[in-house]
Chain A
Amino acid sequence: MDFLIGWLAIIPSYATPLLLASLGLIICERAGVLNLGAEGLMAVGAMTGAIIVLSGGNPWAALGGGAVAAAALALLFGLATVVKRADHTLSGLAIVAIGLGMTGVLGRPYVQKTFPGIETLGDLFGIDRGTVFGRIVAVQDPVTIALPLVVFALWWWLQKTRSGLRLTAVGENPAAADVAGIDIQLTQLAAVLASGVLCGLAGAYLSVATSHVWVEGMVAARGWVAIALVIFARWNPARALLGALLFGAADALVPRLQAIGADFPVYLTMTAPYILTLGVLVLSSLRGKTSGEPGFLGRVYLRQDKH
């Protein structure tokens, strides 16, 4: 019972960064830009967040700072893919390399220094930790609690509003969007920036809200998992919430089992996210064409003739 409660209590904190990042990727890919750079963007967010708190900043400001820093890197990606029409896959991988490399160097002075994170609901509202409910809710933080609302808002925007449709149209059929008078480059650039903000937020959440420390490589493939999660979610934010809980639960299981003394080979813990990701991708590919993938994802649109 204790084991179960402990597990349930930490699932949201595992799910949150995955969800934040995949929401960003959904926006980006709905606009037709394949963003494989999530891992690098998250690393930049995580390191920036840690540096801000360690330099005496407010944890909330640290979340914001992480988002801005990752957005700056995403802007570079956007300039390459959207403006210069470079290959999406290669540019994405370059962003991963830049993000990981940069954080490795710039973050070196800040490694392994713990710091206070954002306050939990327990701290904020003095929730009684005696009950089961209390034990689960008290360890949650405001970001986690607010996230379902964000998911709903994003789903509504994509599905029900004109500007959301315009974004999706760009990724589905840019020729149709073009005729409808939509500025394709501007839309895609905005979408790339949004993915930068959300991936940065996800990374900063990891360091500032979850671990309260920065270590090189702490993103630990969560960026890649988020990419798989988008496919699992069929580019739908509501399904991404579900998927993030699922992935988060699996991810949280290992440390929980270790905590109760189960003897686990380290390599299993290390490879679990990759194996999970691979499994999801195989399963989704079995589903075939109805996967919800944007029709023009990762391709470069060139109008035949320009004015």
Chain B
Amino acid sequence: MIDTLHQSGGRGTLFPGTPPALDLRGIDKAFDGKPALVDASFSLEWGEVHAIVGENGAGKSTLMNVAAGVYAADGGEQTIDGKARSPRSPMEATAAGLGMVHQHFRLVQSFTVSENILLSLGRDSRIRTPAQAAAAIAAKAAEVGLPVDPARVVADLSTAERQRVEIVRVLLLGARILILDEPTAVLSEEEAKMLLSFVRRLARQGHAVVLITHKFREVAGFCDRITIMRHGKTVMAGAPVADIDEGEVARLMVGEALAVSERPLSSPGAVNLSVSGLTQKPDRFGQGLNALNFELHAGEVLGIAGVGGNGQEELVACLTGLSRQDQGSIRLGGRDLSRASPYDRRKAGLRIIPSDRFETGLVRELSIAENLALTQVAKGNFGGTFFLNRKGMRHAATAAIQSFDIRGASPERAAALLSGGNAQKVLLARELDAGMKVLVAHSPSRGLDMKATLFVRNAIKQAVEGGAACLLISEDLNEVLSLSHRVAVMNRGSIAGCRAIGDVTPEWIGALLAGHV
């Protein structure tokens, strides 16, 4: 399939007869034995803007990091401008004329723009002082038409401004191949448009640009060709954008996993959780929430799909009570919990599996027994004000370790020593207790292996069959589709759509994921 698709890559070539700007063939890469790229390919021509799309975890960033010398590939061939080149560091890639702007910027916050750029110039550069750097930046910024003020401190800049600094830096270092990793994910509509027009201009001047994005709109409007990745493989290599429609992109992106069947509720029940008009203004770093409405019935899993950073973190924080919504209400089993403390919410039957186990879930330094007892101690379950019933805690932990099959664990071991899957089991053992009415699970199987993932999903299934309701928030489409009775898609802080599982189609979900409402 890949081979036939390779031939379709002619249209974007503005300079016939020149070798491709960047060519990656048969790239393999594994992290700790887990394959992230499997025989992935990518070919970029001079003068084009080439989109790479794919689900989270598809390997887009990894493939581009290989090209930019951040990661070394385990196998495969790489050329830059026709010459065999596998850069062993970002510096080498820069020297070969390739620069990457990462998803997470690499700037020193306390430095000014000039100081940051000065930093990345090699020893042999003629620019040696911040003043010289400032002049060079101003000149470059004016030349390419990206406003950047060299004198400002990075910490004071907006996200869009920081991104411009990164781009100007890469260009100043001499990049003619520019890789932008999800640059528009952090921008407003207006800012994104500015950036994309800039990128088009750059391509017209003969640069080659890679644009990783989730939005089909941007692909259709600003890119020449598209490469689609799934599970570390290239499933469509460099097709002209004009020849492909959105439905096809969505299908290729998501794959066959979407063959879902009707999943009737085993015990459709009363409304356990009702959220209405939940609104929060965006803060400096995050996404806001726009009037979210949904209801969760006993015995039901409502899956919320969406690309990370579209308000999922904020929604979870509002539900747990770690942050306060500006407007809207949260009712659990008929009780208004809109202003309740996290502790009161827990008492009312809300349970949380946070996306980062060790950030708001477990305490690394405490033992497994202590972690398991954490939510119970306040209730007085393990002794009074002055003496903790350590023996009771130990017994309870031993029981939990057995029933949840937590490997490599003893009650006294520190939670930090557990592997991801076993840490998650500790969390499940604690949260899935008798008092649970609503479970909020955020990416519950992120980073887990197959077996642990299955375990976690089964635990959730059982909990729901036992009469609880579950809100499953996950970037992993497979997970959402394999557990949910209804599926909603979150985009830019809103719920873009919601359907019963039987009505979910790849086109529908793909379009909503891409923000094409």
Which residues of A are at the interface with B, using a C-beta cutoff of 8 A? Answer: 160-162, 165-166, 168-169, 172-173, 175-177, 179-182, 292, 295, 305, 307
A160, A175, A180, A295: the one within 8 Å of B119 (CB): A180
Is B363 on the interface with A (CB-CB < 8 A)?
no
CB-based nearest A residue for B29? A305
State the main secondary structure of chain B at its contact with A. loop
Would B129 and A173 count as touching, CB distance under 8 A? no
Residue of A nearest to B110 (CB): A172
Choice from B88, B106, B111, B122 contacting A165 with Cβ under 8 Å: B111
Asked if B71 and A305 sit within 8 Å, CB to CB, the answer is yes
Docked complex Cα distance between A305 and B70 (Å) = 8
Q: Would B128 and A162 count as touching, CB distance under 8 A?
A: yes
With A and B bound together, what is the CA distance between A181 and B122 in angstroms? 8
A305 adjacent to B31 (CB under 8 Å): yes
- B70 surroundings in chain A (CB, below 8 A): 179, 305
- In angstroms, Cα B31 to Cα A295, docked, is 28
Q: Which residue of B lies closest to A172 (CB)?
A: B108
Chain B positions within 8 Å of A295 at CB level: 108-110
Give A173 to B120 CA distance when docked, in angstroms: 13
Interface residues of B in 244-285 (CB under 8 A from A): none
Which of B89, B109, B115, B122 makes the CB contact (< 8 A) with A307? Answer: B89
Q: B89 and A173: CB pair below 8 A?
A: no
Given A181-B89, A305-B31, A307-B88, A162 and B106 contact (CB-CB distance below 8 Å): no
Other than the given A160-B129, A181-B91, 11 more pairs (CB < 8 A) read A165-B115, A168-B110, A169-B119, A173-B106, A173-B109, A176-B107, A180-B119, A182-B119, A292-B110, A295-B108, A307-B89
The CA of A127 and the CA of B50, in the complex, are separated in Å by 77
Q: Given B106, B111, B130, which contacts A175 in the complex, CB threshold below 8 Å?
A: B106
- Chain A hits for B89, CB < 8 A: 181, 307
Q: Is B90's CB within 8 Å of the partner chain A?
A: yes
Most B-side CB within 10 Å, residue of A161, A177, A181, A292: A181
Q: How long is the Cα–Cα vector from A161 to B110 in the complex, in angstroms? A: 16
Report B120 CB to chain A, min CB distance, Å: 4
User: Which residues of chain B come closer than 8 Å to A169, judged between CB atoms?
Assistant: 108, 111, 119
Residues of B within 8 A of A162 (CB): 118-119, 121, 128-129
In the complex, which residue of chain B has the Cβ closest to the Cβ of A163?
B123
B72 within 8 A of A: yes
A-B contact pairs, 12 of them (CB 8 A): A162-B119, A162-B121, A165-B115, A165-B119, A166-B119, A168-B108, A168-B110, A172-B110, A173-B106, A181-B90, A181-B91, A181-B120
Shortest A280–chain B CB gap in Å is 22
Q: How far is the CA of A166 from the CA of B122 in the complex (A)?
A: 11
CA–CA, A173 to B162, complex, Å? Answer: 15
Shortest distance from the beta carbon of A11 to any chain B beta carbon, whole Å: 32
Please list the residues of chain B having a beta carbon within 8 angstroms of any beta carbon in chain A.
Answer: 31, 70-72, 88-91, 106-111, 115-116, 118-122, 128-130
Contacts of A165 in B (CB 8 A): 111, 115, 118-119
Could you tell me the distance between the alpha carbons of A27 and B119 in the complex, rounded to whole angstroms?
17
Q: How far is the CA of A175 from the CA of B104 in the complex (A)?
A: 10
Q: When chains A and B are docked, how far (Å) is the Cα of A25 from the Cα of B108?
A: 21
CA separation between A92 and B128, bound complex, in Å? 35
B72: A residues at CB distance < 8 A: 305, 307
B106 touches A179 (CB 8 A): yes
How far apart are the CA atoms of A292 and B155 in the complex, in Å? 13
CA distance A296 to B436 in the complex (A): 41
Residues from chain B with a CB closer than 8 A to the CB of A181 are 89-91, 120, 122
Provide the bound-state CA to CA distance between A305 and B72, in Å.
8
Q: Which residues of the partner chain B approach A173 to less than 8 Å between Cβ atoms? A: 106-109
Q: What CA separation (Å) do A181 and B106 show in the bound complex?
A: 12
Q: For B129, give its contact among A161, A166, A172, A177 (CB under 8 Å).
A: A161
**Are A179 and B90 closer than 8 Å at their CB atoms?**
yes
The answer for the CA separation of A182 and B72 in the assembled complex, in Å, is: 18
Q: Which residues of B are found within 8 Å of A179, using beta-carbon distances?
A: 70, 90, 106, 120
Given the complex, which residues of A lie within 8 Å of B108, measured CB to CB? 168-169, 172-173, 176-177, 295
Q: Is the CB of B119 within 8 A of A176?
A: yes
Distance (whole angstroms) from the CB of B19 to the closest CB of chain A: 26
Distance from A181 Cβ to chain B, minimum over Cβ atoms (Å)? 4
Contact B120 A180 (CB under 8 A): yes
For B91, list chain A residues within 8 Å (CB).
181
Shortest beta-carbon distance from B156 to chain A in Å: 12
Q: Which residue of B lies closest to A182 (CB)?
A: B119
**In angstroms, how far is the closest chain A Cβ from the Cβ of B88?**
5
- Measured between beta carbons, the chain B residues less than 8 angstroms from A176 are 106-108, 116, 119
Chain B residues within 8 Å of A160, by CB: 129-130
Measured between beta carbons, the chain A residues less than 8 angstroms from B115 are 165
Chain B residues positioned under 8 Å from A180 (CB to CB) = 106, 119-120
Assembled-state Cα–Cα distance A71/B303 (Å): 60
A172:B121 contact, CB within 8 angstroms:
no
A181 to B169, CA, bound (A): 14
Distance of A179 Cα from B105 Cα, bound (Å): 11
Nearest chain-B residue to A306 (Cβ)? B72
User: Which residues on B sit within 8 Å (CB–CB) of A168?
Assistant: 108, 110-111
Question: What is the CA–CA distance of A215 and B459 in the complex, to the nearest angstrom?
Answer: 68
Inter-chain CA distance A181–B339, complex, in Å, is 50
Q: For the complex, what is the distance from the CA of A162 to the CA of B127, rounded to whole Å?
A: 9
In Å, the complex CA distance between A177 and B107 comes to 9
Complex Cα–Cα for A292 and B122 (A): 27
Bound-complex Cα distance A176 to B169 (A): 13
Nearest-neighbour CB distance to chain B for A99, whole angstroms, equals: 30
Residue of B nearest to A294 (CB): B110
With a cutoff of 8 Å between Cβ atoms, the chain B residues found around residue A161 in the complex are 128-129
Shortest Cβ distance from B91 into A: residue: A181
Determine the distance from Cα of A177 to Cα of B91 in the docked complex, in whole angstroms: 11
Considering the complex, give the chain A residue whose CB is closest to the CB of B31.
Answer: A305
Interfacial chain B residues near A182, Cβ < 8 Å: 119
**A160 and B132 alpha carbons, distance in the complex (Å):** 11
Smallest CB separation, A179 vs chain B (Å): 5
Complex Cα distance A161/B118, Å? Answer: 9
Q: How far is the CA of A12 from the CA of B111 in the complex (A)?
A: 33
Give the distance in Å from the alpha carbon of A244 to the alpha carbon of B221 in the complex: 62
Do A177 and B119 contact each other (CB < 8 Å), given the known contacts A305-B31, A307-B89? Answer: yes
Residues of A within 8 A of B107 (CB): 173, 176
